[in-house]
Amino acid sequence: MLNHKFLRKKFLMATICALSLTGIGCSKKDAADESKKVVLNVQNGEEIRHLDPQLATGIGSAHIGVNLFLGLYEYHHKTGAPEKDLVVSFTKNQSSTEWTFKLRKDASWVKHENGTVTKKRPVTAHDVVFSYKRMLSPELASEYAYMLYVIKNGEAYNKGKIKNADEIGVKALDDYTVKLTLEGPVPTLISYLPHHSFHLVPKEPILKHKEKWITKEHIWTNGPFAFKDWKLKDKIVLVKNPHHPMSKDVQADEVNFKFIGAYSTDAVRAFRAGKIDIDYMSPPTSEIVPLKKSGNLVAARQLGTYYIMVNTKKEAFKDKRVRKALGLAVDRKKIVKYIMKAGQQATYSLVPNAFQGYAPQPLTKNDNYEERIKEAKKLMAEAGYPDGKGFPEVGYLYNTAETHQKVAVSVAKQWENALGVKIKPLNQEWKVYLNSRKSFDYDLARAGWVADMEDPINFLDMFVTDGGNNSTGFSHEKYDELIGKARIENDLQKRSRMLEEAEKILMDEVPVIPLFTYTSLNLKQKYISGFYANKLDQHALKYVKIDLKKRKEMFPSL
């Protein structure tokens, strides 16, 4: 009797071989190469909103972008401190107003097409000029444009006060030399430059394809990895860029950035099954202790603050006495002890107590919860809501995650018990949640800020009037003036005093209610090296190594 299974197999192999002769199929060598491919699987939380580094906002987008796009500087993979990326050397004048950078000549723009990564052309100083002008263009409307306001005429151009982009203080002196002229002395400029708002973007596909340049059909990148695919609600796939200067040291042939969720039990389950090598997102609080005992949890104190945004445009929150009452009536110590459980620290200031020479300005100096409730009750009564009477029911928005839900429910209950107000927790998926915040379609909203650079101004400059990341409606003339002056203040002590005065105004007006500072929590398998938790939560995967033998021993079925 004929073995039909055997015949089908022979026919299939013959078909594959025939197709390979036409260039359509794959050879035995191709199949062998595919089996040897080193794949790194990374859990990156919620699906990102933007891949374009000049439109990206969330930390999830930054995690991917830092592996796709180069800037003048990058974050050190261990410490998060700035280190040279495209820059070979630089000089600056005595007043720190003019900086000239020499660029390396071995970086290239590349594109993944037809299964390979193709070199397009070298990266040059002209790309810096194009990128910075695009970032500041009013038409792009980047939420992070203010990061480049230190550049001369950057703010004026972004706000339409000048129309000629050539007046912006960025100029290519030759193909590999770029000069930045600043609004004033900025001795801390280097700390700005690793941020994704300063990453370079390619002129040709952007001018030709407009907003569609970022699709897999058109995208060019210049980082250690190239973009291969984006499978919605599943993952983004990157492949090693063989034309990158460090390509010989990069082990991973392919990286899958998977979207399972933040504080996700499903993500922890996938990690334990070996389907995830690195998890960027903090695990659910119920999993912290067992993961710590297993040795898979890596932690570091993080320059970040978890806080509540207040929509000051809403009638219920126009009176700052109401906002301050809510800020006083939260038992932060209870939240970090019973919900967060990973070394987070209760805080009453937006800026963490982690910057040398800077003294955070708290909402209150009273650490006694019962005394704070008495003060909060008095403020609510003065605002016309004694024991919460007459105060409308409002919503507390948070992005879908178990831990965010627990915090929202706890805070709402505390406010109800202390002040008699009704607060309804409301959850939305990440992209919807971000859109609701941006369009002011919320009352109160959970928020978090992880520093883009080691500088207290990074927590404060986003709250200037109509700032790209200011979704509170807060506006204060003196505050704007202080931030503007601090950006270009050469005396670091004087600069810190300006920023302290600005934070004091912010905490007095209470458009934000700080709750606690973050702890950076990542998961990594024991066969992974070269990956570190750090204070800015920045990770360059070009340094990651996988012990393939150990991985196979731990997960033989994979």
**Residue 216 neighbours by CB distance under 10 Å:** 15
Q: How many residues does the chain have?
A: 558
Same domain for 107 and 133, yes or no, is yes
Sequence-distant (6+) residues with CB within 8 A of 31 are: none
Burial of 446 (0-12, 13-18, 19+ CB in 10 A): buried
Same domain for 369 and 390, yes or no, is yes
Q: What is the CA radius of gyration of the chain?
A: 26
Same domain for 348 and 375, yes or no, is yes
Same domain for 91 and 222, yes or no, is yes
- What pTM did the predictor assign? 0.87
Distance CA 517, CA 432 (A): 25
Instruction: Note whether residue 268 is domain-resident.
Output: yes
In a 3-state reduction of DSSP, which class is residue 141?
A: coil
Distance CA 151, CA 547 (A): 45
pLDDT at residue 285, rounded to an integer? 87
In a 3-state reduction of DSSP, which class is residue 390?
A: coil
Same domain for 321 and 268, yes or no, is no
What are the start-end ranges of the E strands in 437-534? 444-450, 512-524, 528-529
Comparing C-alpha atoms, which of 301, 292, 350 is closest to residue 513?
Answer: 350
Same domain for 71 and 173, yes or no, is yes
Measured between its terminal Cα atoms, the distance across the chain in Å is 36
Cα 424 to the chain's mean position, in Å?
Answer: 28
Paired residues of 546 in beta bridges: 528
Same domain for 449 and 424, yes or no, is yes
Q: Are 554 and 274 in contact (CB under 8 A)?
A: yes
Residue-level pLDDT, tens digit, the chain, 558 residues? 434 433 344 444 444 344 444 444 455 555 556 668 999 999 999 999 899 999 998 889 999 999 999 999 999 999 889 999 999 999 999 999 999 999 999 999 999 999 999 999 999 999 999 999 999 999 999 999 999 999 999 999 999 999 999 999 999 999 999 999 999 999 999 999 999 999 999 999 999 999 999 999 999 999 999 999 999 999 999 999 999 999 999 999 999 999 999 889 999 999 999 999 999 999 998 899 999 999 999 998 999 999 999 999 999 999 999 999 999 999 999 999 999 988 999 999 999 999 999 999 999 999 999 999 999 999 999 999 999 999 999 999 999 988 999 999 999 999 999 999 999 999 999 999 999 999 999 999 999 999 989 999 999 999 999 998 999 999 999 999 999 999 999 999 999 999 999 999 999 999 999 999 999 899 999 999 999 988 899 999 999 999 999 999 999 999
Distance CA 70, CA 397 (A): 35
Instruction: Note whether residue 29 is domain-resident.
Output: no
Instruction: Note whether residue 124 is domain-resident.
Output: yes
pLDDT at residue 58, rounded to an integer? 84
Distance CA 15, CA 206 (A): 41
Same domain for 529 and 515, yes or no, is no
Instruction: Note whether residue 182 is domain-resident.
Output: yes
In a 3-state reduction of DSSP, which class is residue 370?
A: helix
CATH code assigned at 167: 3.40.190.10
Q: Are 137 and 144 in contact (CB under 8 A)?
A: no
What's the domain count of the chain?
Answer: 2
Paired residues of 181 in beta bridges: 98
Comparing C-alpha atoms, which of 39, 542, 37, 548 is closest to residue 249?
Answer: 542
pLDDT at residue 6, rounded to an integer? 37
Same domain for 204 and 261, yes or no, is yes
Same domain for 493 and 391, yes or no, is yes
Q: Would you state the structure tokens that stand for residue 235, as one six-digit string?
A: 């993952």
Range of the domain at 257: 42-277+525-554
Same domain for 363 and 494, yes or no, is yes
Instruction: Note whether residue 294 is domain-resident.
Output: no
